[in-house]
Structure 1
Amino acid sequence: MTTTDPDQIWDQSRKRLIPGTVIGSVIEWYDIAVYGQAAALVFGTLFFPSFSPTTGVVAAFATFGVGYFARPVGAVLFGHLGDRYGRRFSLVCTLLLMGVATVAIGLLPTYGSIGVAAPILLVVCRLLQGLGVGAEYVGAVTMVAEFAPVKRRGFFSSLPASGVFIGIGLAAAMSAGVALLPEEQLLSWGWRIPFLFSIFVVAIGLLIRLRVPESPVFTELKQARARTRVPALTMIKAMPRRLLLVMVANGVLAFNIYVVQTYSLSYIAAKGVPKSVALSAVLVGCAVGAIAIPLLGTLSDRAGRKPVYIGVSAFCALVAFPFFWLLDTGNVALIMLAFALALGGCLAMFGSQAAYYAELFPAEYRFSGFALGREIPGAVLAGPAPVISVGLVSLGAGSPTLLAIAMVVVAVAGLLAVVALPETRGVDLAPIVDPDEALGTPARSTAATPRDATTTTT
């Protein structure tokens, strides 16, 4: 057991911890966003030229979705590493894997050079990206939550989530810049720049992350010999209902966000809106979101995790139809407003989610529970979201009504799931190391129950 004062640990660590976790989220979401934007704007032409334009876009979106089927696998793999061998170790692994896969995409030959092997290699790289992404954000938030002071846990845990929007915004800025190139240059070499740029961001992130100390909660867990052999399996057996509710609650961030940041780009491009306008609108939404996230994190420290999460879920339901109404105007200012609402307002849910999900699972399998709760709905909803969007809009004869209804349904379902979950503000995140507690007596907080005897096995 460590005797170091928690406040002293926090003061000594946060100058490295916050940048080290934020940069990982920046890289993760930069990689996701730049791939999604390329899928919407150029991959159909570069990797699926033998298809019709619409079918080519669908095929490109399908490769985007492939990565999400790998994310639950990454959640299990790196969640296991994080719960068994350390949060920091897992975060270094995910950072390297994401960076290597993204740079590799920027070096790929296209269909015109090597034929069908090109889209196959693209899928392989996307799968590797998905494995790394499956636990990156979760590990960052878990680290910060386990370090942060209880009364400000919501605020500090939300900071890595701000990196989400910084990453999306950086990707939009890079894609907007290369979109200004003449089409011939864009399709020959310009599209590679955003992917190759990732190598510089990863190098900086790795230098910072290697200096981040291990979580004091994991250190205590290791010293108490309270780690489980298979954290994910233990968690599923102990808390199946809670895991299911977390997955439903994450639906908005698994579906709505990808309709907004990926499909909507091709939706307005088909209406003649310039690519640079669409990507600039994403930048506006990201700027609003980056500001809103820590504000909501702070609000969750004062009002509780549930009220904030429920409020944002309700907003997500209300904004779905206006989002498409504003896009349909074709007016640049109104398009900017649409993205400010959807990305900046609705998707600021990250601010209330961060500490909440970390608090819902005990230390012994916190990384695994948090990761699976986010990534399983990612595989079910996020990956297929652009393809589902194309299908619903086509079914509606070009109208986004059915797609907007789907976004409302997902948001309302998430709201109801949060209603059924407990409030967690102020719970103790430290592991339960008392033998009587580990064998099934009441835990120290509602977020840490139920327990079973397997948590005492090293």
Structure 2
Amino acid sequence: MTAATTPDQIWVESRRRLIPGTVIGSIIEWYDIAVYGQAAALVFGTLFFPSFSKTAGVVAAFATFGVGYFARPVGAMIFGHIGDRYGRRFSLVCTLLLMGVATVVIGLLPTYASIGVLAPVLLVICRLLQGLGVGAEYVGAVTMVAEFAPVKRRGFFASLPASGVFIGIGLAATVSAAVAALPEEQLMSWGWRVPFLFSIVVVAIGLLIRLRVPESPVFTELKEARARTRVPALALIKAMPRRLLLVMVANGVLAFNIYVVQTYSLSYIAGKGVAKSVALIAVLVGCAVGAVVIPLLGTLSDRSGRRPVYIAVSAFCALVAFPFFWLLDTRSTALILLAFALALGGCLAMFGSQAAYYSELFPAEFRFSGFALGREIPGAVLAGPAPVISVGLVSLGGGSPTLLAVAMIIVAVAGLVAVVALPETRGIDLAPIVDPDAKPTTPRTSAPTAAPDSRPIGTF
């Protein structure tokens, strides 16, 4: 092997295109999610469900938000299959285009006042298409970076696409806050469309960058060795069902708690008379905190291990649930900003250790599919319905968020227990093991660790 083809040299040559190319996809993904969630909380009930009562309209709008999450596991299977069979890069280009186009079309939709019941039907269709693309976007980006990055800094570099999460949410909050400041008539007539139409600019930039991103060296090795599985998702379920289930439970905080904070809480404080702009600025503050903390936790996971960091953040998410609502109930702008800094910035910081951890928990042959399904199945069960569940629990509590805070604690503790049952993975080799008994022909960073079911990571 010449110096020009060593893993370190490949990383140096690819990093300048790879990092921006993967981060931009996360920005678009979470911009789309956040813009839709904010619009569902603030305007969609009136625009698309005007014949409902105010509360029922908000519930219906949140239900359309949840529909996209039922499509995400399907997207995870489709694009996870494409990523494991035909290439990580090709899958990422497909998801980027699908998400972006669906979001722009939402901004062009006529409302209920123009075409009646067909308006919410078209909204749901667009949301389903959005969900299909989102189902594998972030996973593909992280997988690409993890498979390129030096093993000793994998946690840090794999966390960088997650920083796009906060940039995307923050960008959405900024644009939404700007249009929310418009007079009510202008907001409802054309202002709400601006955040969706703005997506076309971000998608165009993202596509130009992503088309220049090289293919993952791990997938290239899989392809050359003819080691790809025919149906990666099926191979995954047969090989390590327990691990997949534990990953799903571990992802509960990001599948439920975050959407309570990011989406439902906007409606919650609006009902207390807090200005819409304050709520959106609070989201922006939380994103700024998360953007700083994520790479720090990624670096910490490189030094201390993935599990300790993940466990600590899960515990923090449980502890912050009640204080979050106590701070919101004060109606104080400063304390609301603090609430979002703790709950949104703190809980989303879990991405810092999750990125490398989930990539390392699954072997190369079905890594994309395993990571995607592990994230998106709990998303369909918890994330999509989270705003509706929140409305129900608060109503059941007579307007008190106590039951909702308890639910957030239960989800966080369950995730913590699941991570305790998973192995530590820091330092393992992500390259495919085509023949475990043969000496590798390329340098490996370290030996694979043993999986709970006695299979080495990277084998069936």
Matches for 1:351-430 after TM superposition, within 5 Å:
351-430=352-431
User: What's 1:249 paired with?
Assistant: 250
Would the alpha carbon gap of residues 179 and 387 (structure 1) be closer, same or farther in structure 2, given more than 3 Å must change? same
1:227-306 alignment runs, 5 A limit: 227-306=228-307
Where does residue 444 of structure 1 map in the other structure? Answer: 448
Contact 2:261/2:344, CA 8 A, preserved across alignment: yes
Alignment partners' CA distance in 2, 1:125 and 1:451: 42
Q: Is the 8 A contact 2:76 2:372 kept in 1?
A: yes
Cα deviation 1:314-370 (Å, max 9, x = unaligned): 000000000000000000000000000011112200001000000000000000000
CA–CA distance in structure 1, aligned partners of residues 437 and 83 of structure 2: 25
Conservation of the 8 A alpha-carbon contact between 1:362 and 1:447: no
Q: Structure 2: which 5+ residue stretches go unaligned?
A: 440-446
Verify the 8 A CA contact 1:161 1:293 in the aligned structure 2. yes
Measured in 2, the distance between the counterparts of 1:128 and 1:271 equals 34
Q: Shift of the alpha carbon at 1:433? A: 1.4
Q: For residue 90 of structure 1, what is the amino acid of its counterpart?
A: S
- 1:15 is matched with 16
How many Å separate the matches in 2 of 1:437 and 1:388? 52
Residues in 1 aligned to 2:347 and 2:269: alpha-carbon distance in whole angstroms = 20
CA contact (8 A) 1:47 1:110 kept: yes
Superposed CA RMSD in Å reads 1.7
- Secondary structure of 1:109's partner? coil
2:437 and 2:78 map into 1 onto residues whose CA distance is 30
> 1:36 is matched with which residue?
37
AA matched with 1:136: E
C-alpha change, 1:45 and 1:81, in structure 2 (3 Å) is same
> What's 2:442 paired with?
none
Q: How does 1:67-106 map to 2 (within 5 A)?
A: 67-106=68-107
1:383 positional shift: 0.1
Q: Is the 8 A contact 2:423 2:452 kept in 1?
A: no
Once the two structures are TM-superposed, the CA of residue 449 in structure 1 deviates from its matched residue by: 7.0
CA deviation digits over 1:249-299, x for unaligned, max 9? 000000000000000000000000000000000000000000000000000
List runs of 5+ in structure 1 lacking aligned partners: none
Does the Cα contact within 8 Å between 1:361 and 1:448 map onto a contact in 2? no
Matched, 1:312 2:313: yes
Deviation at 1:445, TM superposition (A): 2.6
Amino acid at match of 2:38: Q
- 3-state SS in 2 of match to 1:423: coil
State the one-letter code of the partner of 1:444.
Answer: P
Contact map agreement 2:153 2:299 (CA 8 A) in 1: yes
Structure 1 residue 397: deviation in Å?
0.1
Provide the rounded CA distance (Å) in 2 between the counterparts of 1:260 and 1:447: 35
Q: Deviation at 1:435? A: 6.3
CA-to-partner distance for each residue in 1:17-73, whole Å, 9 max, x for gaps? 000000000000000000000000000000000000000000000000000000000
The equivalent of 1:218 in structure 2 is 219
Equivalent residues, number = 451
Aligned-pair CA distance for 1:4: 1.7
Q: Is the 8 A contact 1:146 1:215 kept in 2?
A: yes
Please identify runs of 4+ aligned residues in structure 1 that moved more than 6 A. none
**What is the TM-score when the length of structure 2 is the normalising length?**
0.96
Partner residue, 1:45: 46
Alpha carbons 2:363, 2:459 under 8 Å: kept: no
Supply the distance in 1 between the matched residues of 2:347 and 2:259 (Cα, whole angstroms). 12
Contact 2:155–2:356 under 8 Å retained in 1:
yes
CA deviation profile, 1:113-139 (whole Å, cap 9, x unmatched): 000000000000000000000000000
- Asked if the contact 1:156/1:297 (under 8 Å) is kept, the reply is yes
Q: CA deviation at 1:444?
A: 3.1
Deviation at 1:212, TM superposition (A): 0.2
Aligned residue number for residue 325 of structure 2: 324
1:75 to partner: Cα distance: 0.3
State the alpha-carbon separation in 1 of the partners of residues 448 and 385 from structure 2. 40
Q: Which AA in structure 1 matches 2:429?
A: D
State whether residues 238 and 450 of structure 1, in contact with CA within 8 Å, keep that contact through their aligned partners in structure 2: no
Separation in 2 of the partners of 1:448 and 1:146? Answer: 23
Rounded to whole Å, the distance in 2 between the matches of 1:448 and 1:134 is 27
Give me the whole-angstrom Cα distance separating, in 2, the residues matched to 1:182 and 1:53.
20
Aligned to 1:155: 156
Which residue is 2:58 aligned to?
57
- 1:403 maps to a residue whose letter is L
Indicate conservation of the 8 Å contact 1:243/1:369, yes or no. yes
How far, CA to CA, are the matches of 2:43 and 2:367 in structure 1?
39
Deviation at 1:414, TM superposition (A): 0.2
Cα shift at 1:8: 0.1
Are the equivalent residues in 2 in contact too, given 1:359–1:447 (CA < 8 A)?
no
Give the AA of the match of 2:29. Answer: E
CA shift for structure 1 position 429? 0.1
SS of the residue 1:93 aligns to? helix
Which residue pairs with 1:146 in the alignment? 147
Q: Secondary structure at the match of 1:446?
A: coil
Supply the AA of the counterpart residue of 1:125: C
Instruction: Give the AA of the match of 2:450.
Output: T
User: Does residue 132 of structure 2 align to residue 128 of structure 1?
Assistant: no
Q: Is the 8 A contact 2:328 2:336 kept in 1?
A: yes
Give CA-to-partner distance per residue, 1:180-199, whole Å, 9 cap, x none.
Answer: 00000000000000000000
Give the Cα separation in 1 of the matches to 2:21 and 2:146. 14
For residues 75-115 of structure 1, what are the alpha-carbon distances to aligned partners after superposition, in whole Å with 9 as ceiling and x for unaligned?
A: 00000000000000000000000000000000000000000
Q: 1:437 to 1:367 in 2, by over 3 A?
A: farther
Give the aligned partner of residue 170 of structure 2: 169
Q: Is the 8 Å Cα contact of residues 63 and 122 (structure 1) preserved in structure 2?
A: yes
Q: Is the 8 A contact 1:427 1:447 kept in 2?
A: no
Q: Distance in 2 between matches of 1:451 and 1:344?
A: 37
Provide closer, same or farther for how the CA distance between residues 437 and 248 of structure 1 changes in structure 2, counting only shifts above 3 A: farther
